[in-house]
Amino acid sequence: GAVVSQHPSRVICKSGTSVKIECRSLDFQATTMFWYRQFPKKSLMLMATSNEGSKATYEQGVEKDKFLINHASLTLSTLTVTSAHPEDSSFYICSARDPGGSGELFFGEGSRLTVL
């Protein structure tokens, strides 16, 4: 399957700081990437759809000014958590669809954010 790489895998930051998470498609071009968030023992919640060269589409209830998404190239999307607070601590996972496939999503390794 397609390879999606995410970095960093773990990050600890202080309240009020901003954290950037990168998501790369390694062996294919992804015009669309998806950002999910997962709390412990809960399922994945879609935060936003990242579109190359245009604005991201955010799900209802997700603050676009809080979670900045940039998809500047066909292989890279970034999620920036701005002015992070302890309640933003979560597992953030990006995903992309192999354009040669049939709709399956392939996930990055995930980034565990801890805000102190």
Partner 1 sequence: QKEVEQNSGPLSVPEGAIASLNCTYSDRVSQSFFWYRQYSGKSPELIMSIYSNGDKEDGRFTAQLNKASQYVSLLIRDSQPSDSATYLCAAQRAAGNKLTFGGGTRVLVKP
Q: Which is nearer to partner 1, 3 or 17 (CB)?
A: 3
The minimum distance between CB 74 and partner 1, in angstroms, equals: 16
Q: Which is nearer to partner 1, 76 or 82 (CB)?
A: 76
Tokens 């498609």 label which residue?
25
Cα-flanking dihedrals φ and ψ of residue 37, to 5°? -130, 140
Q: Please tell me whether residue 52 adopts helix, strand or coil conformation.
A: coil
The minimum distance between CB 83 and partner 1, in angstroms, equals: 26
Q: Which is nearer to partner 1, 17 or 26 (CB)?
A: 26
The minimum distance between CB 78 and partner 1, in angstroms, equals: 17
Report d(CA 51, CA 111) in Å as an integer.
Answer: 20
Cα–Cα nearest to 92, from 114, 113, 70: 113
* Number of residues that this document lists for the chain: 116
Q: Which is nearer to partner 1, 19 or 108 (CB)?
A: 108
The minimum distance between CB 109 and partner 1, in angstroms, equals: 6
Count helices and strands in the chain by DSSP H and E runs: 0, 11
Using CB under 8 A, list all residues that contact partner 1: 1, 6, 32, 34, 42-44, 46, 49, 93, 97, 102-110, 112
